[in-house]
A = this chain, B = another copy of it.
C-alpha cells in the first residue's frame, strides 16, 4: 500500500488511475505535472471534461456526438442525404471524414452485435437506422463495420433487416492495405483482394 502525504493528492491519483491504460505510477506523474501548472490551466482542464460530460449531445438522426440536436453533417444541405454510412463509433466517423472521400451522411450504431459481450441488436442504434431507411429517400447504405466476426454478423443482421427495402446495400472494400507487404498479409485478406480485384486505374 502506497503511503500518500496528502489526501487531495491520493484522491486525484486514484481518479486518474481509473482511466483505461493509466497505472498508478503514470497517474502520479500526470497529477504532479498538473500540480506544476497554473491554477487557471488546471481549472480549464477539469472544467473541459466536466462540461463535455454534462453538455454533450448526440445527434438525434445519426447518433454522432454533437454540440447541437442535429449534428453538423446531418444539418449540412450539401451532404448527400441519400447515402448512409453505418459505423460502430464516433472515431470511425472522424476517420472517414479525414479521408475527405465521403460526402454522404452517417449512422453510428454504438458497437456491433456481440453475444459474447452481451451486446444484442436492441443495445445498438439499429431500429433507428431501419426507420431512417424506411422513412427517407435513402438510396444506399454503406456498411463500414469492423472486419471481424462480430462486424460480419452485424452486417448480415442489418442486411436482413433492410432486405424488404429497395435500398442498395454495400460493404467497404477489404483487401491489402497501402504499403502492406503481401507476404505478411493474412490469407483471407489476400485471397479476397484477388477475388475482388478492380480495374487498374492510373489515378489510384
Interface majority SS on A: helix, strand, loop or mixed? helix
Query: A79 on the interface (CB 8 Å rule)?
Result: no
- Please state if A20 and B47 are interface contacts (CB–CB under 8 Å): no
Bound-state CA distance A49–B56 (Å) is 21
Bound-state CA distance A21–B71 (Å) is 32
Chain A 9-52 interface mask (CB, 8 Å, partner B; 1/0): 10110110011111000101111111101010011111111111
- Please state if A47 and B46 are interface contacts (CB–CB under 8 Å): yes
Chain A 131-163 interface mask (CB, 8 Å, partner B; 1/0): 000000000000000000000000000000000
A28: which B residues are within 8 A, CB to CB? 91
Query: A86 on the interface (CB 8 Å rule)?
Result: no
Query: A183 on the interface (CB 8 Å rule)?
Result: no
- A201 CB to nearest chain B CB (Å): 27
Query: A169 on the interface (CB 8 Å rule)?
Result: no
- Please state if A48 and B11 are interface contacts (CB–CB under 8 Å): yes
Partner of A21, one of B3, B26, B49: B26
- Please state if B65 and A9 are interface contacts (CB–CB under 8 Å): yes
- Please state if B51 and A8 are interface contacts (CB–CB under 8 Å): yes
- A125 CB to nearest chain B CB (Å): 15
Partner of A52, one of B3, B11, B54, B65: B11
Partner of A30, one of B4, B19, B46, B55: B19
- A132 CB to nearest chain B CB (Å): 18
Given A5-B64, A20-B30, CB of A50 within 8 Å of CB of B54 = no
Partner of A44, one of B15, B65, B73: B15
